[in-house]
C-alpha cells in the first residue's frame, strides 16, 4: 500500500506555521501596585503558591481589559494596594496582558 506524503507534509507545515497558542492564566491575591499614569497602565498582583513561595504577576492593560467590582463595571482606580483581587491574564510575545481584573 502506498501513502502519498504530500498531504502529511502540508499538515506538518501548517502546524509549524500556525500562530502561537494564546494561554490564559488566572490568579487570586493581593494587589501590590496599580499604575494608572503609565502608558499602558499596569497592574501587579501577589499570591502564594505551593511551597509557600510568592508569585508576583505584573501585566499591562489594553482596550480589551475588563475591570469589575462585585460584578459591575469599574475603573482601575478602584483597586488599591493591599486589597484582594482576581486576575486573568494572557502571555503575549511582548509580556503579560491583563484580560480581566475583578474583586468581590
Q: CATH no. for residue 55?
A: 2.40.50.320
Low-confidence stretches of the chain (pLDDT < 50) are 1-18
Q: What's the pLDDT at 18?
A: 45
pLDDT at 14: 41
Domain that holds residue 54: 22-103
Structural domain contains residue 68: yes
- Domain count for the chain: 1
Closest by CA position to 30, among listed 68, 71, 87, 74:
87
Per-residue pLDDT reduced to its tens digit, 47-73: 999 899 999 999 999 999 999 999 999
Helices (H) and strands (E) in the chain, counts: 1, 7
Amino acid at each position: 500500500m502506498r501513502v502519498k506524503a504530500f498531504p502529511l507534509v502540508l499538515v506538518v507545515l501548517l502546524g509549524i506555521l500556525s500562530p502561537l497558542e494564546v494561554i490564559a492564566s488566572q490568579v487570586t491575591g493581593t494587589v501590590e501596585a496599580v499604575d494608572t499614569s503609565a502608558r499602558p497602565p499596569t497592574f501587579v498582583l501577589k499570591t502564594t503558591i505551593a511551597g509557600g513561595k510568592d508569585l508576583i504577576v505584573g501585566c499591562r492593560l489594553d482596550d480589551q481589559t475588563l475591570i469589575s467590582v462585585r460584578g459591575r463595571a469599574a475603573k482601575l482606580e478602584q483597586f488599591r494596594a493591599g486589597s484582594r483581587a482576581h486576575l486573568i491574564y494572557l502571555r503575549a510575545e511582548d509580556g503579560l496582558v491583563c484580560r480581566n481584573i475583578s474583586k468581590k
